[in-house]
Structure 1
Amino acid sequence: MTTLEQDRPIVVPVTLHGGGQPPAANRQLKLPLAPSLEKRRLQAYLLLLLLDGAVITVSLLLVGLLYIGRADDPQALQQINLYLPLYWGAALITRTYSIQSLTSLRFSQARSILAIVITLTLTIFVAFFTKSSEQFSRVSILANLLMIAGGLTWARAVVHPLIRQGCGPTAENVLVIDDGGTLVRVPHAWHIDTREHRLRPDRSDPHMLDRLGMFMTNMDRVIVSCPPERRKDWAMVFKGSNICGEIVEPEVQEMGVLGARRGHGFGSLVVSVGPLGLRARALKRAMDLVIVGGATIALAPLLLVVALMIWLEDRGPVFFLQQRQGRNNRLFWIYKFRSMRVEKLDAAGTRSASRDDDRITRIGRFIRKTSVDELPQLLNVLRGDMSIVGPRPHAIGSLAGQKRFWEVDQRYLLRHSLKPGLTGLAQIRGLRGATDSEADLTSRLQADLEYLDGWTAVRDLRIIFATFAVLVHDRAF
């Protein structure tokens, strides 16, 4: 990695410590700071998984050739069918495919050997209890162990430089934010100064949160060092982001606090992790693409008819675009069918629609009542801005009574740790429509926080099916 040292005001300064190149002057900062490493880690895990399978298969066939005299011996083929699933299961349990296995060759080799030892042990137990141990020669089992262990050790040594080149020395993107606290330096991490970038954890400023989100994009860990009076604000910003956020606390290392992370001469309190792991996010995204892809094709005639009716009524634009806050506090443009008169559109969303609202057109009243106006958000799901199920995104100017949403309850930002959804737990409970009072927001916020606690694909499917019963509701004006 390179080392970008701080320059003068004409250049946006960022430092990346632990690299091999000399300081670079007059280098323009580009956001995001680094490409996402999640895809590269997945590719590395898949490479190791396939490589292990190939080594085991070749080793067993080679032992069969040397010991029995033929590589396609039925016993060797039977062992392959038994060893592979047992090994991959043992490898997952022993963290053979983990970030540490990508960064440490010794750890990777040791865990792969441990996995094959567990595999052979389980094979012996299976053979004993099925009374088929006579089919397995002690010499062949020992030969299998030595051949596979040697092959795994050699193969991982060969691919380790390739993995290190693709994923970097730490296989993680780490951002250290200096906000006036204890000086912290982490090898191979990005370091930024809030004073030079004019950054602050202002929970009441959506645009500032958007800027912070841009800096944190693609980061696996974000560490902030700040004075005690600003730790609460940073904690809430992190909790509403889809990252692992940490706040430096000098006494953590001495006290050994549970739930803290220690290393590199400093300690930090772990204040947030993404509510969904990599596998859960991949499954949720796959569900979104499959369901929304099919729904878009099936609903295409309806979408075209509605678009034509909106245009014929007043010859105005078909779609209404509005900025809303999504995952990681990032702003995005949400698509809706236009239901209000062009000259009375409310892009900021400061005024909620009422029952006798004079801004709503005739076709607009129908599509709002039946929730058809929300259908263009299928495009947001396909783009990756939204998910089918999640907290509903709100306009940044929305009010609950006389207060902005984040002023009513400081936990409001927590709902931004997931992608916003077309529907959610609050919607199927009837908590939707105008927020005339603070209680209207509090009740739906509680439902959103409940959804964040323990995601499952089954619950998403239940919410999707339950949504059909509330498409038409008396809170849609």
Structure 2
Amino acid sequence: MNAPFALRPDAGLRDDADELLVAPSLERRRLQCYLALMLGDVLAIFAGFGAAGYLVGGVQGWSDALIQSQILLPIFLTIALYNGSYSVAALLDAWAGIFRSNAALLLSLAAVLFIAFFAKASSEFSRLSFSSGTACTMLLLTLMRLQMRRFTKWRCGANPYNQLVIDDGGPRVDVPGAVRLSASAMSLRPNLNDPHALDRLGLVLRNIDRVIVSCPASRRAEWAMMLKGANVDGEVLDDEVARLGAQGARVSGGHGLLLVSAGPLGLRDRIVKRLLDVAFAGAAILALSPLLIVVAVAIKLQDRGPVFFVQRRMGRGNRFFNMYKFRSMTVGLCDKEGNVSASKDDQRITRVGKFIRSTSIDELPQLFNVLLGDMSLVGPRPHAIGSQAGSKLFWEVDLRYWQRHSLKPGLSGLAQVRGFRGATEKESDLVHRLQSDLEYLEGWTIMRDIKIIFLTLRVLVHDRAF
């Protein structure tokens, strides 16, 4: 790791994120390395075919080679993106990246020849120029990748992953390049009934890519459940794994590590999802700005109280954030902790509030949460920590509840478009929502998000919006 980090021993006495010195994020640096590798490959393709074309056919050969490169490039980049030419494996092992990039080149060349054959344009290719260009490009790809190794080490260090070992009383495990911390010294405890403990763990794990927990067997299940919603590759130390050879595990430093969690979306998927969020939320705010202004004025004129209702809710990685809504209840009766769900004839709801809740207009300020990055357009709905199903807190009904926090919460989700919304009067009301949320986590695609957005437009007005 290119820069060590530390956590202040007294951070357990405070509830402020600034009191925790966390690891520098390597995700952006990895992205910079991927872009640098991609640029190097593009230059190698143009230089290799251009040089070969010039040597074989002079200026005309050079011009023809550049045209061939332009045809080849989009096919090469598409294959390279999917075969791991720009991946952590390529950053860790230069030769692995060289093999994958050259394989992508050969496959893209085969595709170009296939297209040229059926287009009856293969006669226009100079075989000598094309063959020598291929050999020259493969050589330049190899040399470029070896030279880029210096850049990747400068940006990301020897290991492009931030790794953390949490010692909670289990066997000592030494992972090269990883940072160790004591759970007891940092007041980290696997308490699934304490949202504040989850928030603290989320602060510690910010910017961490992989975490290993070494603890007694009696606490492995609690730690596993804690990590499932933390949006990291989480592992619990279990030496039985090495002897059993279980799947979904690895051996490091003579210890068996059981894989218990992984972030549901990779970097590319998160980028695509974020682009959709920003584009849609930004456009929606501009288009709905007259409505937002009218609603804000109506709320203000009704009782002179604040326009917005701000409530702390739990989001991605079990981290707290402030969620915004248009205020729909009387000022003195607003429930900051969400201990009492709104009912159909709730006396706390104002006249304006009744209208904006029934039409889901009260949720529109969450578009600003989307732009801020706290929420997404689609994802599990964020809940107040005091929310109850029947007489139990949500996580007391089913501990799998915490897993839903491995993604950003959403304005809408699979549960909402299926009709599971409104008050949770019975435990089954939560179970139905939870099952839909977990199903969404397991099968994410950008097309599914778009489908849920359009389905949401059909259920904005519903009989359970109160």
Fold match by TM threshold 0.5: yes
Alignment-mate amino acid for residue 374 of structure 1? E
Show the counterpart of 1:197. Answer: 186
Compare 454-463 and 91-100 and name the one that shifted more: 91-100
Q: Call closer, same or farther: CA 1:68–1:85 in 2, change over 3 Å.
A: same
Q: Secondary structure at the match of 2:225?
A: helix
Matched, 1:367 2:356: yes
1:191-245 C-alpha deviation (Å, 9 max, x unpaired): 1110101111111111110000011111111111111111111111121221111
Instruction: Give unmatched runs, 5+ long, in structure 1.
Output: 13-28
1:101-142 C-alpha deviation (Å, 9 max, x unpaired): 112233333433444344455556666676665555554344
Alignment-mate amino acid for residue 186 of structure 1? V
Show the counterpart of 2:399. Answer: 410
TM-score, with structure 1 as normaliser: 0.90
* CA drift at 1:401: 1.0
1:392-431 C-alpha deviation (Å, 9 max, x unpaired): 1111011111110000011111111111111112212221
Distance 1:397 1:89 in 2: 47
* CA drift at 1:389: 1.2
Q: Call closer, same or farther: CA 1:421–1:151 in 2, change over 3 Å.
A: same
Q: Secondary structure at the match of 1:195?
A: coil
Q: Secondary structure at the match of 1:197?
A: coil
Matched, 1:34 2:36: no
Distance 2:30 2:442 in 1: 26
The counterpart of 2:332, out of the listed 337, 343, 348, is 343
Q: Secondary structure at the match of 1:350?
A: coil
Matched, 1:259 2:234: no
* CA drift at 1:50: 1.7
Identity among equivalent positions (%) equals 52
Name the Cα RMSD after superposition. Answer: 2.4
Q: Assess if the C-alpha contact under 8 Å between 1:64 and 1:73 holds in 2.
A: yes
Q: Secondary structure at the match of 1:443?
A: helix
Show the counterpart of 1:58. Answer: 47
Q: Assess if the C-alpha contact under 8 Å between 1:389 and 1:421 holds in 2.
A: yes
Q: Secondary structure at the match of 2:185?
A: helix
The counterpart of 2:285, out of the listed 278, 296, 299, is 296
Show the counterpart of 2:171. Answer: 182
Q: Secondary structure at the match of 2:337?
A: coil
Q: Assess if the C-alpha contact under 8 Å between 2:225 and 2:402 holds in 1.
A: yes
Matched, 1:428 2:417: yes
* CA drift at 1:386: 0.8
Matched, 1:147 2:127: no
Distance 1:93 1:315 in 2: 56
Show the counterpart of 2:436. Answer: 447
The counterpart of 1:472, out of the listed 439, 451, 461, is 461
The counterpart of 1:226, out of the listed 215, 221, 233, is 215
Q: Assess if the C-alpha contact under 8 Å between 1:32 and 1:216 holds in 2.
A: no
Q: Call closer, same or farther: CA 1:5–1:323 in 2, change over 3 Å.
A: closer
Q: Assess if the C-alpha contact under 8 Å between 2:231 and 2:316 holds in 1.
A: yes
The counterpart of 1:70, out of the listed 33, 53, 59, is 59
Show the counterpart of 1:171. Answer: 160
Q: Secondary structure at the match of 1:69?
A: helix
Q: Call closer, same or farther: CA 1:265–1:369 in 2, change over 3 Å.
A: same
User: What count of residue pairs does the alignment treat as equivalent?
Assistant: 460
* CA drift at 1:186: 1.1
Alignment-mate amino acid for residue 414 of structure 1? Q
Distance 1:41 1:105 in 2: 14
Distance 1:48 1:5 in 2: 31
Q: Assess if the C-alpha contact under 8 Å between 1:327 and 1:417 holds in 2.
A: yes
